[in-house]
Amino acid sequence: MSNHNDDHWLVRPSTIRKLWWGFSAVLALTVLAQLVWYVKGYFTVDGWLGFGAVYGFLSCLLMVLFAKGLGYLLKRPRDYYAERDVDA
């Protein structure tokens, strides 16, 4: 039986919690930096505060949902290869 102290540091719940807080702070600072440095967008909407963060999040979400849908479309039954072996 594995001891909790023997776990790799990246799988410890305390480390995961600290990483979430740290990455969230970096992302928030990145969005807030737009208050200090003016961003002139090519279109009107891409100059809004936090547009890049929202656009990136929604793009990633759509890619994940598309991949899940594609996975359901291309999925084979569990016994797909077993049926071929029986016929041979």
One-letter identity of residue 46: D
What would the DSSP string read from start to end of 7-18?
A: S-TTTSHHHHHH
pLDDT at residue 71, rounded to an integer: 94
Lowest average pLDDT, out of 62-66, 72-76, 81-85, goes to 81-85
pLDDT at residue 20, rounded to an integer: 95
Residue 82: pLDDT above 90?
Answer: no
Helix, strand, coil tally for the chain in percent (to 5): 70, 0, 30
> Token match 């807080």: residue?
21
**What does the pLDDT average to over 47-54?**
91
What's the full length of the chain, in residues? 88
- Write out pLDDT tens, residues 25-36: 999 999 999 999
| Dihedral-angle region of residue 75 (phi above 0 means left; psi in -120 to 50 means alpha; beta otherwise) | beta
Q: What is the pTM of this model?
A: 0.65
Query: Would you kindly state where each structural domain of the chain is located, as residue ranges?
Result: 1-37, 39-88
